Amino acid sequence: MSADISLEKALLLFASKNDDEFAQGMNVLFRRYVNRTEIWDAFVKYVVDNPTSEIPAVLIYYLAHIPWHPDIVWNGDEPITNETRQYARQLLSRFEKAEVVKLLSFIDEERGIERGSMGQSVAAIVLSLPQANPILASIADDLSAPVFTRECAAFILAKRVRTEEKPSSENWRTQAQRILQLGRKLN
């Protein structure tokens, strides 16, 4: 069935307002055409252009295949090439605060960012962003954001700062102070 769907047809299905057609198009694009730049353009554009309530969690999981994490299982027709990863990383690197807030909303309050959770996929994407630190700090400091969103931003920021290869003592001190201040605001 899906083996007969062309790239063009799958893109049309992905653009459909019908939920079943949309899901079929998204899955065919990812499973059969993962190394075509058009699918990454479409996936990233969908996240940017749509409210969180219209973004399926599986799309976030698909995006997490670009930065990858240890619990991703690949079962598509072909592996994702380095060229595709590089292209999609450039697209993801354009994410700003609004997109990161959308991503953070997919983290489940019960499971957080534990292994095998949607939060792990969200963290993988966010941690891959070159501008993640200032975006996460901005979200963590945003008193208008939901507390759980702020907590997630602070936690991922702490994780990023902790795993940076060579953080300067000034960078480390500044980030640690910011996280501590956030903790005081939340209590």
Which long-range contacts does 173-176 make (Cβ < 8 Å, 24+ apart)?
Answer: 175/133, 175/137
The domain locations on the chain are: 1-95
- How far is it, in rounded angstroms, from Cα 96 to Cα 135? 7
Contact 84, 35 (CB under 8 A): yes
What pLDDT sits at residue 186?
Answer: 53
- How far is it, in rounded angstroms, from Cα 11 to Cα 1? 16
What pLDDT sits at residue 167?
Answer: 45
CB atoms within 10 A of CB 120: 20
What pLDDT sits at residue 116?
Answer: 84
Task: With CA atoms as reference, report the closest residue to 62 among 91, 21, 94.
Answer: 91
**What are the φ and ψ backbone dihedral angles of 55, each rounded to 5 degrees?**
-95, 120
Q: What is the dihedral of CA 61, 67, 72, 74, to 10 degrees?
A: 90
Contact 125, 152 (CB under 8 A): no
- How far is it, in rounded angstroms, from Cα 25 to Cα 7? 9
3-state secondary structure 47-116: HHHCCHHHCCHHHHHHHCCCCCCCCCCCCCCCCCCHHHHHHHHHHHCCCCHHHHHHHHCCCCCCCCCCCC
Which residues in the chain show pLDDT less than 70? 1-3, 76, 161-187
Q: What is the pTM of this model?
A: 0.84
Task: State the greatest distance between any 2 C-alpha atoms of the chain, in Å, as a whole number.
Answer: 57
What one-character DSSP code corresponds to residue 2?
G
- What does the block give as tokens for 95? 């994410």
- How far is it, in rounded angstroms, from Cα 105 to Cα 103? 5
